Structure 1
Amino acid sequence: GDLSALEGDQWDAVVDTCGYVPRIVRQSARKLVKSVNQYAFISTGVVYSDLSQPGFDESAPLHPRPRSKGDAVTPDTYGPFKAECERVIDKLYPDNALHVRAGLIVGPHDPTDRFTYWPVRVARGGRIAAPVRPDLPVQFIDARDLGVWLLNRLEAGDAGAYNVSGPEMTLTFGKMLEACQKVCASETDIRWIPEELLKEHDVTPFREMPLWIPEDSPSAGLLRMDITKAVESGLFCRSLEETVRDLLRWNAGRAAGYQLQAGCPPEKEQALITAEERARTG
């Protein structure tokens, strides 16, 4: 694209929210070298080469240079491309690059509905199919909390890499659904579906069962990264109830008949609940 509009001005910082392709990131980042004091890049936890185990911190190895010669962003190239984008920026901004390795970003205006599904589903009430067990750890961060933390880091002149997700303390699936129930005041019956039944019914992780990643998945640790560095630098997450409340308010204003982009189809959910009851009662 035409980057000439970036010439001649000065800014305290740039926040690159949509850099996915190294070639394109290199073009814009190079154009701004003499114009900005700091370059903040919204990266992802998927930059790490091994996501199979929880608890990885910022020192974990990144994906090596992508093998792909093209620019197509796919599930296979997404992580390697983001890692290479970080390296591109580091080369141009060796002392003032800030890499935000974000977890799942949620909140009002999230078009993916990967978290939104759960408050909306709990608000509807009834029997709900949930993944595996109530003590299953989950991680995500309200986009507004991420934004506040990032501005504070830029004002402090910070650089380096941070894993940024939330909340500050360990959150479980059960506690998350309890927060949704507290806000919605709905009558629900949560049914915890064993992983083997989810697989038998071909439930798609993250899409049909949002926030669920199978224990044997190469990405099993993705929603359990170590965020100690971000917390110690001042990361603060609003209450889950506030995020849920604001999400439901925003979702209510969507177009009539809007279909969520993620979540378990009703007929599949009922089949899972029936299978769980049969397995439990024999």
Structure 2
Amino acid sequence: MLGGTEFAGRAIAEDAVRRGWQVTVFHRGRHAPPDGVTALHGDRTAEGGLAALERGEWDLVVDTWSDAPRAVRDTARLLSGRVPHCTYISSRSVYPFPAPAGSTENGPVVEGSMDAGQVEYPRDKRGGELAVEAAFGDRALLVRAGLILGPYENVGRLPWWLRRMERGGPVLAPGPRTLKLQFIDVRDLAAWTLDAAERGLAGPYDLVGPPGHATMESFLRACARATGSGAELRWTEPEKILAAGVRPWTELPVWAPPGEMHGAVHGSDVSKALAAGLRCRPVEETVADTWAWLRSLPGDAPQRSDRPRLGLDPETEERVLNA
């Protein structure tokens, strides 16, 4: 496991340990690895940083890297002769935005280079894909994840909604209520990824739940119930929210108004992954388990340093509600 200490990587490593697999986690040592793994330390961006991986053989390797593609390139080249199969956790962001609703893995992708330094997230992920394919060929599985939620989240989408519900009172609930959401619980991503890698699947798979697995209403009601705060959902038309200058997706995480943006982030055709065994737990379980995890932390939820903090400030929310 390249990474394996945060969010998706941690969920994958923990799932592998539960299966009774022998798991090696290669990371920089900034976060504690999961229990039950063998830890190797190294910095993929530093000269000589891969020394700990120069010896050894493994059955599978999973890489979650999101920055400079050349780090994926160098690691894949180093391991390709000693590991039969490689999985790269990529992103649906490799499709030019906005991808039309109903898009599949056959859609066009952004340009990328496996020799590049860090550029921007979509091109970095595409470069990582190219690096893994160059080293492993038809032994490379590309997991193009959509919106990921669940315990260990370090982006701040579901944690923000849960903390907002915890405060109670009137909550700006972006409509329409029946707006379909598409996401995947990080633990379902982990389970499918390991199953697929064990089976030797290769090529790209869009990995996210089917459109409408949840709605805006079922998602927000689950958040309110989990916290038990008695928060009051004030459903508001998208037009009023946008007219007030509130930004979808960032100030109101998860939400995208009906139209082009919604089709791009919540309208992917995931028939290929479903046919390959993808199973998704109910949104209520994802929300409740994430709340339990949040409450277990001694402080705030972890936050990726390369991502901005998300959420709507209370003053703006009150202004929109009063209007």
Q: Same fold (TM over 0.5)?
A: yes
Q: For residue 89 of structure 1, what is the amino acid of its counterpart?
A: V
Alignment of 1:133-282 (within 5 A): 133-166=176-209, 170-215=213-258, 220-256=263-299, 261-275=309-323
Structure-2 residue corresponding to 1:21? 68
Q: Secondary structure at the match of 2:248?
A: coil
Indicate the larger mover: 217-226 or 261-270. 217-226
2:114 counterpart of 1:71: no
SS of the counterpart of 1:39? strand
Residue 46, structure 1, aligned to residue 89, structure 2: no
Displacement of 1:96 in angstroms is 0.5
* More RCO (CA 8 Å, sep 6+): 1
Paired letter, 2:117: D
Number of equivalent positions? 271
Is the 1:136–1:172 contact (alpha carbons within 8 Å) kept by the matching residues of 2?
yes
Q: Name the SS of the counterpart of 2:226 in structure 1.
A: helix
Letter in 1 for 2:319: A
SS at match of 2:100: coil
Secondary structure of residue in 1 paired with 2:123: helix
On the 8 A contact 2:146/2:206 being kept in 1, the answer is: yes
In structure 2, which of residues 143, 165, 171 is the aligned counterpart of residue 128 of structure 1?
Answer: 171
Aligned runs of 1:78-89 on 2, under 5 Å?
78-89=121-132
> How far apart are residue 118 of structure 1 and its match?
2.2
2:152 and 2:275 map into 1 onto residues whose CA distance is 28
The structural deviation recorded for 1:46 is 0.4
Change (3 A) 1:253 1:134: same
Unaligned runs of at least 5 residues, structure 2? 1-45, 304-308
TM-aligned CA distance change 1:258 to 1:9, over 3 Å: closer
Q: Is the 8 A contact 2:222 2:288 kept in 1?
A: no
| Residues 173-209 of structure 1, C-alpha deviations (whole Å, 9 max, x = no match) | 1121232344344433322233333233322322211
Q: Paired residue for 1:34?
A: 81
Q: Deviations over 1:68-112 (max 9, x none)?
A: x96334xxx211221122122212211110000001211122122
Find the aligned partners of 2:301 and 2:86 in 1 and give their Cα distance: 37
Query: 1:108 corresponds to which residue?
Result: 151
Shift of 1:22: 1.9
Q: Distance in 1 between the 2:300 and 2:145 partners?
A: 31
Determine the C-alpha separation between the residues in 1 that align with 2:171 and 2:236: 10
Q: Is the 8 A contact 2:104 2:270 kept in 1?
A: yes
Contact 2:66 2:121 in 1 (8 A): no
Contact 2:176/2:238 (8 A) holds in 1: no
Q: 1:257 to 1:221 in 2, by over 3 A?
A: closer
**163-172 or 148-157, larger mean C-alpha shift:** 163-172
Shift of 1:170: 3.3
* 1:25 maps to amino acid: V
Percent identity between the two aligned chains: 36
Residue 15 of structure 1 and its aligned partner are, at CA, apart by: 0.4
Q: Could you tell me the TM-score, scaled by structure 2's length?
A: 0.76
CA distance in 2, matches of 1:167, 1:242: 16
Tell whether the 8 Å contact from 1:11 to 1:35 is kept in structure 2 after alignment.
yes
Q: Using the alignment, how far apart are the partners of 2:170 and 2:231 within structure 1?
A: 6
TM-score by length of 1: 0.86
* SS of residue in 2 equivalent to 1:237: coil
- Cα distance in 1 for partners of 2:177, 2:123 equals 33
Please give the per-residue CA displacement for 1:141-169, whole angstroms capped at 9, x wherever unaligned. 11111111111111111111111112575
* 2:18 aligned residue: none
